[in-house]
Amino acid sequence: MPRSFRIGVSSGFKTAAPGTIEPVLERLIDPLPHVEWAFYDAGGGEPVAAEAIAGFEGIIALGSPYDASTVAGNGELACLARWGVGYDLVDTEAMTANDILLAIAVDAVRKPVAEAILTLILALAKKLWAKDKLVRTGRWDLKAQTSGLGLSGKTVGSVGMGNIGGEMFRLLGPFDLGRRLAHDPYLDPQRADALNVELVSLETIFRESDFVITNCPLTEETRGFINGRLFEMMKPSAYFINTARGPIVNQEDLVAALQAGTIAGAGLDVVEPEPLPLDHPLIGMENVILSPHALAWTDDLYEMNGTIACESLLAVFRGELPAFPVNREVIEQPGFRQKLDSLAARWREFGV
């Protein structure tokens, strides 16, 4: 009888997301007698050690770095499945060089993150934070001073227009927006037309939007590229929202814009660093809504993230490709094809 397939699960789930992955593993993996799973030590912010993932053919990764030192010389690992969609902590070049496929959970985060964006748009537009404070302090007499904005006729601009951006505009459909703007050099114009979105320059997004939403990935190209120059272009009545990654924004410039009243406020589910120090200027700002990189963390997201991660690994064990591969260039590499063929042959030996 061939040896069982082994899945390594990040120990980060025990602290950062307890109880979220286990039900999915119990549903999808435990009934398979030829597949085992175990937690591995994901470390404390440092790159995962190579010895921690030795012996696993697939791993489910959460929030730790995975670099060249993690995977160098690992001849067994075939697939790293991210519990989520962001992979800025994964060295994709190192994965490719070591014949390891990186898979993400695109469908799992699309709707929960879009819902999180909608939550921040509505909370900022209605000045929910200010109205909450009036009730808590007994100042009902000031409620006229916290009048909000209706979304009808307003312009929403998306920096980046992938799956989340498209879902965001779909959810905003009933609100009778004025214009839908997007800046994305990689977006197919036909898809923009189908979503009734105008493709415009980055500067146009910031000049003309009532709500600027960050929907792009963190890359070397996008790191810190939303800065003071762009904030200076915004309307003083406009709001900035970031649910993507904190380092995409030059945070000092954002703080300066908020302090100067250059923009009306911000909704931030991501910041830099995380956790945000309690003495950071953003903490004390009453026109800022903050969330601990968890506004999209819902029962739906937990279930789908775990399901897609498990299904990605099971697909690779069967010699197939997962639904959402990232480093597609690895697929035709002889080393990866050899891993895939070997795994498929073992799967067949179990008669499944």
What are the pLDDT tens digits along the chain (352 aa)? 789 999 999 999 999 889 999 999 999 999 999 999 999 999 878 999 999 999 999 999 998 999 999 998 889 999 999 999 989 999 999 999 999 999 999 999 999 999 999 999 999 999 999 999 999 999 999 999 999 999 999 999 999 999 999 999 999 999 999 999 999 998 888 989 988 999 999 999 999 999 999 999 999 999 999 999 999 999 999 999 999 999 999 999 999 999 999 999 999 999 999 999 999 999 999 999 999 999 999 999 999 999 999 999 999 999 999 999 999 999 999 999 999 999 999 999 998 6
**Position 347: which residue type?**
W
3 state SS of 6 = strand
**Tokens describing residue 83:** 């519990």
Measured between alpha carbons, how far is residue 217 from residues 26, 126, 165, 214 in Å?
A: 32, 28, 12, 9
Catalytic residue among 6, 110, 183, 245: 245
Per-residue model confidence (pLDDT) at position 63: 86
Catalytic residue among 82, 180, 207, 293: 293
293 is catalytic: yes
> Distance (Å, rounded) from C-alpha 176 to C-alpha 67?
46
Per-residue model confidence (pLDDT) at position 86: 87
Catalytic residue among 26, 274, 286, 349: 274
Query: In 10 A of CB 88, how many CB atoms?
Result: 16
Sign of the alpha-carbon dihedral angle for 291, 292, 293, 299: negative
CA-based radius of gyration for the chain: 22
Q: For residue 278, give the DSSP letter.
A: T
183 is catalytic: no
Q: Which of 108, 28, 116, 115 lies closest to 324 in space, CA to CA?
A: 108
